[in-house]
Amino acid sequence: MASDALGELQYAFMSDSSDDNNRQAVSVDVGIRWLIVVIEYAIVASLLLVAGIVLVRTLIDFLTNWGNFPQSVVAAIDGILVVIILLDIAHTVSGHLRASVFPVRPFLVIGILAGIRDILSASAHLTLSVGLSPRDFNNTLISLGVGVGVVVFLLLGLLVLRLSSPNDNTVYLRI
Q: What is the arithmetic mean of pLDDT over 68-86?
A: 87
Q: Which of 10-24, 55-69, 78-92, 118-132 has the lowest mean pLDDT?
A: 10-24
37-59 in b/e form (b: 16+ CB < 10 A) is eeeeeeebeebeeebeebbeebe
How far, in whole angstroms, is CA 22 from its chain's centroid? 35
First to last CA, the chain: 51
Rounded to whole angstroms, how far apart are CA atoms 120 and 123?
A: 5
- Of the segments 20-29, 34-43, 55-64, 108-117, which one has the largest average pLDDT value? 55-64
Rounded to whole angstroms, how far apart are CA atoms 175 and 5?
A: 46
Q: Is residue 29 pLDDT above 50, yes or no?
A: yes
pLDDT per position as a tens digit, 78-105 = 899 899 999 999 988 888 777 777 778 8
pLDDT per position as a tens digit, 98-111 = 777 777 888 888 89
Q: How confident is the model at residue 59 (pLDDT cuts 50, 70, 90)?
A: very high
